[in-house]
Structure 1
Amino acid sequence: MSGTEVTTVVRQKTSNRVLVAAGFPVLGAVAGWLLKLLANWAASWPWIPWEGPVRLIDNAPEPAATIVSLLVGALAGGVLVLLAEHGYVTVTIEDDQVTTARGDASRSVPRHAVHAVFADGRRLVVLGARGEELAVESKNEGADLPSITELAEAFRAHGYPWLPEGDPYRDTYRRWVEDTPDLPPGGNALFKARAEALRKNDEKDIADLRKELARLGLVVRDEGKRQWWRRVEQAEADSRADSN
Protein backbone atom coordinates (compact mmCIF):
# COMPACT_ATOMS: atom_id res chain seq x y z
CA MET A 1 0.00 0.00 0.00
CA SER A 2 1.36 3.43 -0.92
CA GLY A 3 -0.15 6.86 -0.61
CA THR A 4 0.10 10.58 0.11
CA GLU A 5 -1.88 12.89 2.36
CA VAL A 6 -4.83 12.86 -0.02
CA THR A 7 -4.56 9.57 -1.94
CA THR A 8 -4.05 5.96 -0.92
CA VAL A 9 -3.56 3.24 -3.51
CA VAL A 10 -4.09 -0.38 -2.46
CA ARG A 11 -2.98 -3.08 -4.88
CA GLN A 12 -1.58 -6.58 -4.94
CA LYS A 13 1.85 -6.81 -3.33
CA THR A 14 4.65 -6.59 -5.88
CA SER A 15 6.23 -9.73 -4.42
CA ASN A 16 3.04 -11.70 -5.12
CA ARG A 17 2.87 -10.46 -8.70
CA VAL A 18 6.53 -11.26 -9.32
CA LEU A 19 6.04 -14.74 -7.88
CA VAL A 20 3.11 -15.37 -10.23
CA ALA A 21 4.91 -13.87 -13.24
CA ALA A 22 8.01 -16.01 -12.65
CA GLY A 23 6.37 -19.12 -11.26
CA PHE A 24 3.60 -19.83 -13.78
CA PRO A 25 5.88 -20.11 -16.84
CA VAL A 26 8.25 -22.38 -14.88
CA LEU A 27 5.38 -24.57 -13.70
CA GLY A 28 4.01 -24.61 -17.24
CA ALA A 29 7.36 -25.73 -18.64
CA VAL A 30 7.56 -28.54 -16.05
CA ALA A 31 4.00 -29.58 -16.89
CA GLY A 32 4.85 -29.64 -20.61
CA TRP A 33 7.90 -31.81 -19.97
CA LEU A 34 5.88 -34.22 -17.79
CA LEU A 35 3.19 -34.48 -20.48
CA LYS A 36 5.89 -35.39 -23.00
CA LEU A 37 7.16 -38.14 -20.67
CA LEU A 38 3.59 -39.36 -20.20
CA ALA A 39 3.10 -39.49 -23.97
CA ASN A 40 6.33 -41.48 -24.37
CA TRP A 41 5.16 -43.93 -21.72
CA ALA A 42 1.62 -44.15 -23.12
CA ALA A 43 3.00 -45.00 -26.57
CA SER A 44 3.98 -48.43 -25.21
CA TRP A 45 0.41 -49.29 -24.20
CA PRO A 46 -1.53 -51.77 -26.36
CA TRP A 47 -4.37 -49.25 -26.65
CA ILE A 48 -4.34 -45.53 -25.96
CA PRO A 49 -6.77 -42.65 -26.48
CA TRP A 50 -5.65 -39.91 -28.90
CA GLU A 51 -3.25 -42.40 -30.47
CA GLY A 52 -2.27 -40.08 -33.34
CA PRO A 53 -1.00 -37.16 -31.20
CA VAL A 54 0.66 -39.56 -28.72
CA ARG A 55 2.54 -41.38 -31.49
CA LEU A 56 3.53 -38.05 -33.04
CA ILE A 57 5.05 -36.85 -29.76
CA ASP A 58 6.75 -40.20 -29.13
CA ASN A 59 8.33 -40.26 -32.59
CA ALA A 60 9.53 -36.65 -32.49
CA PRO A 61 13.34 -36.38 -32.57
CA GLU A 62 15.27 -35.30 -29.51
CA PRO A 63 16.20 -32.82 -28.23
CA ALA A 64 13.60 -30.95 -30.33
CA ALA A 65 10.66 -32.74 -28.65
CA THR A 66 11.84 -31.79 -25.17
CA ILE A 67 12.55 -28.19 -26.18
CA VAL A 68 9.13 -27.79 -27.80
CA SER A 69 7.35 -29.31 -24.78
CA LEU A 70 9.14 -26.89 -22.46
CA LEU A 71 8.36 -23.89 -24.69
CA VAL A 72 4.69 -24.79 -25.11
CA GLY A 73 4.32 -25.28 -21.36
CA ALA A 74 6.06 -21.97 -20.61
CA LEU A 75 3.82 -20.15 -23.12
CA ALA A 76 0.74 -21.65 -21.47
CA GLY A 77 2.06 -20.41 -18.13
CA GLY A 78 2.58 -16.98 -19.68
CA VAL A 79 -1.08 -16.89 -20.74
CA LEU A 80 -2.07 -17.60 -17.15
CA VAL A 81 0.15 -14.72 -16.01
CA LEU A 82 -1.66 -12.35 -18.39
CA LEU A 83 -5.03 -13.57 -17.11
CA ALA A 84 -3.87 -13.04 -13.53
CA GLU A 85 -2.69 -9.50 -14.35
CA HIS A 86 -6.08 -8.71 -15.86
CA GLY A 87 -7.79 -9.83 -12.66
CA TYR A 88 -5.75 -7.76 -10.19
CA VAL A 89 -7.84 -5.04 -8.56
CA THR A 90 -6.37 -1.65 -7.68
CA VAL A 91 -8.34 0.53 -5.26
CA THR A 92 -7.56 4.25 -5.17
CA ILE A 93 -9.03 5.99 -2.14
CA GLU A 94 -9.24 9.76 -1.96
CA ASP A 95 -11.10 12.06 0.40
CA ASP A 96 -13.67 12.89 -2.29
CA GLN A 97 -13.97 9.62 -4.21
CA VAL A 98 -13.02 5.96 -4.42
CA THR A 99 -11.97 4.27 -7.67
CA THR A 100 -11.71 0.56 -8.39
CA ALA A 101 -9.74 -0.52 -11.45
CA ARG A 102 -9.21 -3.92 -13.05
CA GLY A 103 -7.73 -4.59 -16.46
CA ASP A 104 -8.79 -1.75 -18.74
CA ALA A 105 -11.97 -0.96 -16.75
CA SER A 106 -12.39 1.40 -13.82
CA ARG A 107 -15.24 2.83 -11.79
CA SER A 108 -15.30 5.90 -9.53
CA VAL A 109 -17.84 6.66 -6.80
CA PRO A 110 -18.03 10.13 -5.20
CA ARG A 111 -17.61 10.25 -1.41
CA HIS A 112 -21.05 11.78 -0.81
CA ALA A 113 -22.72 8.77 -2.44
CA VAL A 114 -20.94 6.18 -0.27
CA HIS A 115 -23.04 4.91 2.63
CA ALA A 116 -20.86 1.93 3.59
CA VAL A 117 -17.96 -0.23 2.40
CA PHE A 118 -17.36 -3.85 3.33
CA ALA A 119 -15.66 -7.06 2.27
CA ASP A 120 -17.59 -10.30 2.06
CA GLY A 121 -15.14 -13.14 1.54
CA ARG A 122 -13.20 -12.24 -1.61
CA ARG A 123 -15.72 -9.55 -2.55
CA LEU A 124 -15.43 -5.78 -2.10
CA VAL A 125 -18.68 -3.77 -2.10
CA VAL A 126 -19.39 -0.04 -1.96
CA LEU A 127 -23.00 0.62 -0.88
CA GLY A 128 -25.21 3.62 -1.52
CA ALA A 129 -27.77 5.10 0.86
CA ARG A 130 -30.60 2.86 -0.42
CA GLY A 131 -28.54 -0.30 -0.13
CA GLU A 132 -27.66 -0.33 -3.82
CA GLU A 133 -24.23 -1.58 -4.85
CA LEU A 134 -22.35 1.36 -6.34
CA ALA A 135 -19.20 -0.68 -7.01
CA VAL A 136 -18.51 -4.41 -6.74
CA GLU A 137 -15.34 -6.42 -7.24
CA SER A 138 -16.07 -10.13 -6.91
CA LYS A 139 -13.95 -13.25 -7.26
CA ASN A 140 -16.80 -14.86 -9.22
CA GLU A 141 -16.35 -12.10 -11.79
CA GLY A 142 -12.60 -12.57 -12.12
CA ALA A 143 -11.45 -10.08 -9.49
CA ASP A 144 -8.32 -10.69 -7.42
CA LEU A 145 -8.45 -8.32 -4.46
CA PRO A 146 -5.50 -6.92 -2.53
CA SER A 147 -5.22 -7.42 1.23
CA ILE A 148 -8.58 -6.91 2.97
CA THR A 149 -6.72 -5.66 6.05
CA GLU A 150 -4.97 -2.98 4.00
CA LEU A 151 -8.24 -2.01 2.34
CA ALA A 152 -9.97 -1.63 5.71
CA GLU A 153 -7.14 0.53 7.07
CA ALA A 154 -7.13 2.75 3.97
CA PHE A 155 -10.89 3.33 3.92
CA ARG A 156 -10.93 4.14 7.62
CA ALA A 157 -7.97 6.52 7.25
CA HIS A 158 -9.96 8.53 4.72
CA GLY A 159 -13.10 8.55 6.86
CA TYR A 160 -15.17 6.06 4.87
CA PRO A 161 -17.65 3.93 6.85
CA TRP A 162 -15.98 0.51 6.74
CA LEU A 163 -18.19 -2.30 8.10
CA PRO A 164 -16.00 -4.97 9.77
CA GLU A 165 -19.03 -7.24 10.26
CA GLY A 166 -19.62 -7.43 6.51
CA ASP A 167 -22.88 -7.10 4.58
CA PRO A 168 -25.49 -5.27 6.70
CA TYR A 169 -28.25 -6.72 4.49
CA ARG A 170 -27.18 -10.36 4.79
CA ASP A 171 -30.41 -11.35 6.58
CA THR A 172 -32.66 -9.86 3.89
CA TYR A 173 -31.49 -12.03 0.98
CA ARG A 174 -33.72 -14.74 -0.47
CA ARG A 175 -32.47 -17.66 -2.50
CA TRP A 176 -33.40 -17.54 -6.17
CA VAL A 177 -35.09 -20.58 -7.67
CA GLU A 178 -36.59 -20.79 -11.12
CA ASP A 179 -39.88 -18.88 -11.51
CA THR A 180 -39.47 -17.10 -8.17
CA PRO A 181 -42.53 -14.90 -7.61
CA ASP A 182 -42.37 -11.19 -6.67
CA LEU A 183 -39.56 -10.38 -9.07
CA PRO A 184 -39.89 -7.52 -11.57
CA PRO A 185 -40.70 -8.50 -15.18
CA GLY A 186 -37.64 -10.03 -16.76
CA GLY A 187 -36.00 -10.75 -13.42
CA ASN A 188 -36.36 -14.52 -13.59
CA ALA A 189 -35.00 -14.61 -17.13
CA LEU A 190 -31.90 -12.67 -16.04
CA PHE A 191 -31.37 -14.91 -13.02
CA LYS A 192 -31.73 -18.01 -15.21
CA ALA A 193 -29.17 -16.67 -17.69
CA ARG A 194 -26.86 -15.78 -14.85
CA ALA A 195 -27.20 -19.26 -13.33
CA GLU A 196 -26.00 -20.66 -16.65
CA ALA A 197 -23.10 -18.19 -16.68
CA LEU A 198 -22.14 -19.31 -13.16
CA ARG A 199 -22.26 -22.94 -14.28
CA LYS A 200 -19.90 -22.14 -17.15
CA ASN A 201 -17.70 -19.80 -15.06
CA ASP A 202 -18.33 -17.09 -17.66
CA GLU A 203 -17.00 -14.15 -15.64
CA LYS A 204 -18.05 -11.46 -18.15
CA ASP A 205 -21.65 -12.65 -18.34
CA ILE A 206 -21.81 -13.03 -14.56
CA ALA A 207 -20.77 -9.38 -14.15
CA ASP A 208 -22.92 -8.04 -16.99
CA LEU A 209 -26.05 -9.80 -15.73
CA ARG A 210 -25.43 -8.47 -12.22
CA LYS A 211 -25.61 -4.98 -13.73
CA GLU A 212 -28.82 -5.82 -15.59
CA LEU A 213 -30.39 -7.04 -12.34
CA ALA A 214 -29.24 -3.86 -10.60
CA ARG A 215 -31.21 -1.84 -13.18
CA LEU A 216 -34.30 -3.68 -11.94
CA GLY A 217 -33.51 -2.70 -8.36
CA LEU A 218 -32.17 -6.13 -7.44
CA VAL A 219 -28.93 -6.96 -5.63
CA VAL A 220 -27.49 -10.45 -6.10
CA ARG A 221 -25.00 -12.34 -3.95
CA ASP A 222 -23.44 -15.68 -4.90
CA GLU A 223 -22.69 -18.67 -2.71
CA GLY A 224 -20.90 -21.08 -4.98
CA LYS A 225 -23.27 -21.57 -7.92
CA ARG A 226 -26.32 -20.46 -5.93
CA GLN A 227 -27.78 -16.97 -6.23
CA TRP A 228 -29.37 -14.98 -3.42
CA TRP A 229 -31.18 -11.70 -3.99
CA ARG A 230 -32.76 -8.68 -2.33
CA ARG A 231 -34.35 -5.43 -3.44
CA VAL A 232 -32.83 -2.03 -2.88
CA GLU A 233 -34.87 0.02 -0.42
CA GLN A 234 -36.46 2.38 -2.95
CA ALA A 235 -37.39 -0.59 -5.13
CA GLU A 236 -39.19 -2.12 -2.14
CA ALA A 237 -41.09 1.12 -1.55
CA ASP A 238 -42.05 1.36 -5.22
CA SER A 239 -43.25 -2.26 -5.16
CA ARG A 240 -45.49 -1.58 -2.14
CA ALA A 241 -46.87 1.56 -3.80
CA ASP A 242 -47.68 -0.37 -6.98
CA SER A 243 -49.53 -3.04 -5.00
CA ASN A 244 -51.68 -0.36 -3.36
Structure 2
Amino acid sequence: MNHDKTIIGLKRMEKAIVIILPILSGAILGWYIPVLADWVLTLPIVPLEDFISLIASLNNFWVSIVSLILGIIAAIVFIIIVFNETLKVEVSDRMVELIIGEKQDKFEKQQISAIYVEGKQLVILGLSSEEKYREVVESKFDYVKEVFLAYGYPFRNEDPYINYYQRWELGNGDLPSDVNSILYARSRALREDQKKEAKRLREDLAQLGVVIRDEQNSQFIRMVQNK
Protein backbone atom coordinates (compact mmCIF):
# COMPACT_ATOMS: atom_id res chain seq x y z
CA MET A 1 0.00 0.00 0.00
CA ASN A 2 1.36 3.43 -0.99
CA HIS A 3 1.37 5.43 2.26
CA ASP A 4 1.34 8.80 0.47
CA LYS A 5 -2.02 8.04 -1.11
CA THR A 6 -4.13 4.96 -1.81
CA ILE A 7 -6.92 4.74 -4.36
CA ILE A 8 -10.15 2.84 -3.72
CA GLY A 9 -12.02 1.98 -6.90
CA LEU A 10 -11.95 -0.35 -9.86
CA LYS A 11 -8.73 -2.35 -10.01
CA ARG A 12 -6.80 -2.94 -13.25
CA MET A 13 -8.36 -6.34 -13.89
CA GLU A 14 -11.85 -4.97 -13.22
CA LYS A 15 -11.20 -2.05 -15.57
CA ALA A 16 -9.99 -4.47 -18.24
CA ILE A 17 -13.20 -6.50 -17.89
CA VAL A 18 -15.34 -3.34 -18.10
CA ILE A 19 -13.54 -2.40 -21.33
CA ILE A 20 -13.11 -5.75 -23.08
CA LEU A 21 -16.39 -7.51 -22.30
CA PRO A 22 -18.77 -4.84 -23.69
CA ILE A 23 -16.64 -4.36 -26.83
CA LEU A 24 -16.56 -8.10 -27.52
CA SER A 25 -20.29 -8.41 -26.83
CA GLY A 26 -21.12 -5.45 -29.06
CA ALA A 27 -18.91 -6.74 -31.87
CA ILE A 28 -20.30 -10.29 -31.72
CA LEU A 29 -23.90 -9.13 -31.51
CA GLY A 30 -23.37 -6.71 -34.38
CA TRP A 31 -21.70 -9.32 -36.59
CA TYR A 32 -24.58 -11.76 -36.16
CA ILE A 33 -27.38 -9.20 -36.76
CA PRO A 34 -28.29 -10.72 -40.19
CA VAL A 35 -28.56 -14.20 -38.65
CA LEU A 36 -30.68 -12.82 -35.81
CA ALA A 37 -32.89 -10.98 -38.32
CA ASP A 38 -33.53 -14.22 -40.24
CA TRP A 39 -34.36 -16.02 -37.00
CA VAL A 40 -36.72 -13.29 -35.76
CA LEU A 41 -38.68 -13.55 -39.01
CA THR A 42 -39.49 -17.18 -38.17
CA LEU A 43 -41.34 -16.17 -34.98
CA PRO A 44 -45.16 -16.12 -34.96
CA ILE A 45 -45.24 -12.43 -33.99
CA VAL A 46 -42.56 -10.09 -35.32
CA PRO A 47 -42.28 -6.49 -34.09
CA LEU A 48 -41.03 -4.03 -36.74
CA GLU A 49 -41.38 -6.76 -39.35
CA ASP A 50 -40.76 -4.47 -42.35
CA PHE A 51 -37.53 -3.11 -40.87
CA ILE A 52 -36.25 -6.57 -39.91
CA SER A 53 -37.16 -7.93 -43.34
CA LEU A 54 -35.13 -5.11 -44.89
CA ILE A 55 -32.08 -6.05 -42.81
CA ALA A 56 -32.46 -9.72 -43.72
CA SER A 57 -32.71 -8.85 -47.44
CA LEU A 58 -29.49 -6.81 -47.58
CA ASN A 59 -26.01 -8.12 -48.29
CA ASN A 60 -25.17 -10.04 -45.14
CA PHE A 61 -21.45 -9.23 -45.21
CA TRP A 62 -21.83 -5.44 -45.30
CA VAL A 63 -24.72 -5.48 -42.85
CA SER A 64 -22.49 -7.45 -40.47
CA ILE A 65 -19.60 -5.00 -40.93
CA VAL A 66 -21.78 -1.94 -40.28
CA SER A 67 -23.54 -3.61 -37.34
CA LEU A 68 -20.21 -4.67 -35.85
CA ILE A 69 -18.93 -1.08 -36.00
CA LEU A 70 -22.16 0.25 -34.48
CA GLY A 71 -21.96 -2.41 -31.75
CA ILE A 72 -18.42 -1.36 -30.86
CA ILE A 73 -19.41 2.33 -30.80
CA ALA A 74 -22.34 1.52 -28.47
CA ALA A 75 -19.97 -0.46 -26.24
CA ILE A 76 -17.53 2.46 -26.04
CA VAL A 77 -20.34 4.83 -25.06
CA PHE A 78 -21.39 2.34 -22.36
CA ILE A 79 -17.80 2.11 -21.06
CA ILE A 80 -17.49 5.90 -20.84
CA ILE A 81 -20.76 6.10 -18.88
CA VAL A 82 -19.61 3.36 -16.47
CA PHE A 83 -16.28 5.06 -15.76
CA ASN A 84 -17.94 8.46 -15.35
CA GLU A 85 -20.42 7.06 -12.81
CA THR A 86 -17.95 4.93 -10.83
CA LEU A 87 -16.65 6.36 -7.55
CA LYS A 88 -12.90 6.81 -7.15
CA VAL A 89 -11.66 7.47 -3.61
CA GLU A 90 -8.20 8.86 -2.92
CA VAL A 91 -7.17 8.42 0.72
CA SER A 92 -4.16 10.14 2.29
CA ASP A 93 -3.02 10.93 5.82
CA ARG A 94 -4.60 14.39 5.57
CA MET A 95 -7.80 14.04 3.53
CA VAL A 96 -10.25 11.93 1.55
CA GLU A 97 -10.96 12.97 -2.03
CA LEU A 98 -14.02 11.47 -3.75
CA ILE A 99 -14.32 11.69 -7.53
CA ILE A 100 -17.20 10.77 -9.85
CA GLY A 101 -16.75 12.02 -13.39
CA GLU A 102 -15.97 15.73 -13.08
CA LYS A 103 -17.44 16.07 -9.58
CA GLN A 104 -14.95 16.15 -6.72
CA ASP A 105 -15.50 16.33 -2.96
CA LYS A 106 -12.76 16.68 -0.37
CA PHE A 107 -12.90 16.15 3.40
CA GLU A 108 -10.07 16.78 5.84
CA LYS A 109 -9.50 13.97 8.34
CA GLN A 110 -10.37 16.24 11.27
CA GLN A 111 -13.78 16.95 9.67
CA ILE A 112 -14.77 13.28 9.86
CA SER A 113 -16.29 11.55 12.89
CA ALA A 114 -17.05 8.18 11.26
CA ILE A 115 -16.84 6.28 7.98
CA TYR A 116 -18.80 3.11 7.26
CA VAL A 117 -20.28 1.09 4.41
CA GLU A 118 -24.05 0.61 4.26
CA GLY A 119 -25.01 -1.93 1.63
CA LYS A 120 -22.61 -0.89 -1.11
CA GLN A 121 -22.63 2.80 -0.18
CA LEU A 122 -19.67 4.54 1.40
CA VAL A 123 -20.93 6.96 4.07
CA ILE A 124 -18.94 9.76 5.70
CA LEU A 125 -20.23 11.53 8.83
CA GLY A 126 -19.16 14.94 10.09
CA LEU A 127 -18.39 16.09 13.61
CA SER A 128 -22.06 16.76 14.43
CA SER A 129 -23.03 13.27 13.16
CA GLU A 130 -24.33 14.84 9.93
CA GLU A 131 -24.10 12.86 6.72
CA LYS A 132 -21.47 14.60 4.62
CA TYR A 133 -21.25 12.04 1.80
CA ARG A 134 -22.94 8.90 0.52
CA GLU A 135 -22.18 7.10 -2.73
CA VAL A 136 -21.83 3.57 -4.10
CA VAL A 137 -18.29 2.19 -3.87
CA GLU A 138 -17.34 -0.80 -6.03
CA SER A 139 -14.48 -2.13 -3.89
CA LYS A 140 -14.96 -4.92 -1.37
CA PHE A 141 -15.76 -4.03 2.23
CA ASP A 142 -12.59 -5.57 3.69
CA TYR A 143 -10.36 -3.56 1.35
CA VAL A 144 -12.20 -0.29 2.05
CA LYS A 145 -11.89 -0.93 5.78
CA GLU A 146 -8.20 -1.83 5.52
CA VAL A 147 -7.34 1.36 3.60
CA PHE A 148 -9.14 3.77 5.92
CA LEU A 149 -7.79 2.14 9.09
CA ALA A 150 -4.27 2.17 7.66
CA TYR A 151 -4.45 5.95 7.41
CA GLY A 152 -5.97 6.37 10.86
CA TYR A 153 -9.55 7.24 9.86
CA PRO A 154 -12.46 6.41 12.21
CA PHE A 155 -13.85 3.53 10.17
CA ARG A 156 -16.81 1.69 11.73
CA ASN A 157 -18.29 -1.69 10.86
CA GLU A 158 -21.77 -0.13 10.89
CA ASP A 159 -23.53 3.19 11.42
CA PRO A 160 -22.50 4.30 14.94
CA TYR A 161 -25.89 5.99 15.36
CA ILE A 162 -27.97 2.99 14.28
CA ASN A 163 -29.97 3.02 17.53
CA TYR A 164 -31.01 6.66 17.10
CA TYR A 165 -33.26 6.16 14.07
CA GLN A 166 -37.05 6.13 14.15
CA ARG A 167 -39.37 5.10 11.38
CA TRP A 168 -40.92 8.10 9.66
CA GLU A 169 -44.70 8.17 9.28
CA LEU A 170 -46.84 10.72 7.49
CA GLY A 171 -48.01 13.48 9.81
CA ASN A 172 -45.17 13.13 12.31
CA GLY A 173 -45.89 16.06 14.63
CA ASP A 174 -42.37 16.09 16.09
CA LEU A 175 -40.86 17.30 12.81
CA PRO A 176 -41.07 20.70 11.08
CA SER A 177 -43.60 20.85 8.25
CA ASP A 178 -40.92 21.39 5.58
CA VAL A 179 -39.10 18.23 6.70
CA ASN A 180 -42.34 16.23 6.61
CA SER A 181 -43.10 17.56 3.13
CA ILE A 182 -39.72 16.50 1.78
CA LEU A 183 -39.96 13.09 3.43
CA TYR A 184 -43.40 12.59 1.89
CA ALA A 185 -42.09 13.54 -1.56
CA ARG A 186 -39.15 11.19 -1.07
CA SER A 187 -41.41 8.30 -0.02
CA ARG A 188 -43.26 8.71 -3.33
CA ALA A 189 -39.97 8.78 -5.23
CA LEU A 190 -38.91 5.54 -3.53
CA ARG A 191 -42.21 3.83 -4.37
CA GLU A 192 -41.89 4.90 -8.00
CA ASP A 193 -38.21 3.87 -8.14
CA GLN A 194 -37.07 7.42 -8.96
CA LYS A 195 -33.56 6.97 -7.64
CA LYS A 196 -32.13 10.31 -8.74
CA GLU A 197 -35.03 12.22 -7.21
CA ALA A 198 -34.76 10.23 -3.96
CA LYS A 199 -31.05 11.02 -3.82
CA ARG A 200 -31.66 14.74 -4.41
CA LEU A 201 -34.29 14.85 -1.68
CA ARG A 202 -31.92 13.04 0.71
CA GLU A 203 -29.40 15.84 0.11
CA ASP A 204 -32.08 18.46 0.77
CA LEU A 205 -32.90 16.77 4.08
CA ALA A 206 -29.22 16.62 5.01
CA GLN A 207 -29.13 20.41 4.71
CA LEU A 208 -31.92 20.51 7.31
CA GLY A 209 -30.04 18.23 9.71
CA VAL A 210 -31.96 15.03 8.91
CA VAL A 211 -30.14 11.73 8.30
CA ILE A 212 -31.96 8.83 6.62
CA ARG A 213 -31.64 5.06 6.52
CA ASP A 214 -33.69 3.30 3.85
CA GLU A 215 -35.07 -0.17 4.55
CA GLN A 216 -36.97 -1.33 1.47
CA ASN A 217 -39.38 1.59 0.88
CA SER A 218 -39.49 2.74 4.52
CA GLN A 219 -37.53 5.74 5.76
CA PHE A 220 -35.88 5.74 9.16
CA ILE A 221 -34.65 9.13 10.32
CA ARG A 222 -32.59 10.82 13.01
CA MET A 223 -31.60 14.41 13.64
CA VAL A 224 -27.94 15.44 13.78
CA GLN A 225 -26.51 15.73 17.25
CA ASN A 226 -25.35 19.34 17.54
CA LYS A 227 -26.99 21.24 14.71
TM-score, scaled relative to structure 2? 0.84
SS of the residue corresponding to residue 177 of structure 2 reads coil
Alignment-derived partner of residue 3 in structure 1? 2
Provide, for residues 13-59 of structure 1, a one-character-per-residue CA deviation record: whole Å limited to 9, x for no partner: 11110111111111123334555433322224454222232222222
Quick check: 108-117 or 59-68, which moved more? 59-68
Q: 1:201 to 1:65 in 2, by over 3 A?
A: farther
Alignment-derived partner of residue 168 in structure 1? 160
Alignment-derived partner of residue 96 in structure 1? 94
Alignment-derived partner of residue 159 in structure 1? 152
CA–CA separation in structure 1 for the residues paired with 2:37 and 2:100: 39
Alignment-derived partner of residue 134 in structure 1? 132
* Contact 2:115 2:122 (C-alpha < 8 Å) held by counterparts: yes
CA–CA separation in structure 1 for the residues paired with 2:191 and 2:72: 29
Alignment-derived partner of residue 179 in structure 2? 187
SS of the residue corresponding to residue 230 of structure 1 reads strand
* Contact 2:33 2:64 (C-alpha < 8 Å) held by counterparts: no
Q: 1:30 to 1:227 in 2, by over 3 A?
A: farther
- Residue type of the alignment partner of 1:182: D
Alignment-derived partner of residue 49 in structure 2? 51
Partner residue of 1:22 out of 20, 23, 37 = 20
CA–CA separation in structure 2 for the residues paired with 1:179 and 1:59: 63
Unaligned runs of 5+ in 2: none
TM-score, scaled relative to structure 1? 0.79
Q: Report 1:33-44 matches (<5 A).
A: 33=31, 36-44=34-42
Quick check: 211-220 or 50-59, which moved more? 50-59
Q: 1:234 to 1:74 in 2, by over 3 A?
A: same
Q: How many residues align?
A: 227
Q: Report 1:202-241 matches (<5 A).
A: 203-234=195-226
- Residue type of the alignment partner of 2:151: H
Alignment-derived partner of residue 60 in structure 2? 62
CA–CA separation in structure 1 for the residues paired with 2:166 and 2:66: 52
Q: Report 1:75-114 matches (<5 A).
A: 75-114=73-112
Unaligned runs of 5+ in 1: 139-143, 236-244
* Contact 1:115 1:161 (C-alpha < 8 Å) held by counterparts: yes
CA–CA separation in structure 2 for the residues paired with 1:27 and 1:178: 47
SS of the residue corresponding to residue 129 of structure 2 reads coil
Q: 1:200 to 1:56 in 2, by over 3 A?
A: farther
Q: 1:197 to 1:65 in 2, by over 3 A?
A: farther
Identity %: 31
* Contact 2:33 2:63 (C-alpha < 8 Å) held by counterparts: no
CA–CA separation in structure 1 for the residues paired with 2:205 and 2:113: 21
Alignment RMSD = 2.6
Q: Say if 2:144 is the partner of 1:146.
A: no
* Contact 1:87 1:102 (C-alpha < 8 Å) held by counterparts: yes
Alignment-derived partner of residue 242 in structure 1? none
Q: 1:32 to 1:187 in 2, by over 3 A?
A: farther
